[in-house]
Amino acid sequence: MESPPQKLRVLVVDDSAYNRQTITAMLESLPGIEVVGRAMNGKEALQMAFDLEPDAITLDLEMPEMDGFAFLRLLMARRPTPVLVVSGYAQRENVFRALELGALDFIAKPSREISPDLKSIRDELATKIGTVKRLHAVRLYNRAKALAAVDRRTTSNTSLQSTKAAPRTPSGMPPALVVGIASSTGGPPAVQQILCALDAKVPIAILVAQHMPARFTRAFASRLDRLVDFHVVEAVDGHPLCAGTVYIAPGSANMEIERPGDGREAPMVRVVPPNTAKPGPVLTPSADHLFKSLAAQYGRRLLSIVLTGMGSDGREGAREARRLGGRIIAEDPDTAVMPGMPYSVIEAGLVDEVLPVEQIPEAIARFVGEARGGGEGVR
Catalytic residues: 184, 211, 313
Residue 365 CA to chain centroid, in angstroms? 22
Instruction: Give 211's DSSP letter.
Output: -
Q: Count CB-CB contacts under 10 A for residue 186.
A: 28
257-262: long-range contacts at Cβ-Cβ below 8 A with a sequence spacing of 24 or more?
257/178, 257/207, 257/293, 257/294, 257/297, 259/297, 260/174
Q: Tell me how long the chain is.
A: 379
Q: Which residues contact 123 (CB under 8 A, 6 or more apart)?
A: none
Q: Residues 216, 251: contact at Cβ < 8 Å?
A: yes
Q: Provide the b/e sequence for 222-257 (b: ≥16 CB within 10 Å).
A: bbbbebbbbbbbbbeeebbbbbbbbbbbbbebbbbb
Region at 41 (left for phi over 0; alpha for psi -120 to 50; beta for the rest):
beta
CA 33 to chain centre: 26
Distance CA 241, CA 165 (A): 19
* Sheet hosting strand 56-59, strand order edge to edge: 33-39, 8-13, 56-59, 83-88, 105-109
252/212 Cα distance (integer angstroms): 8
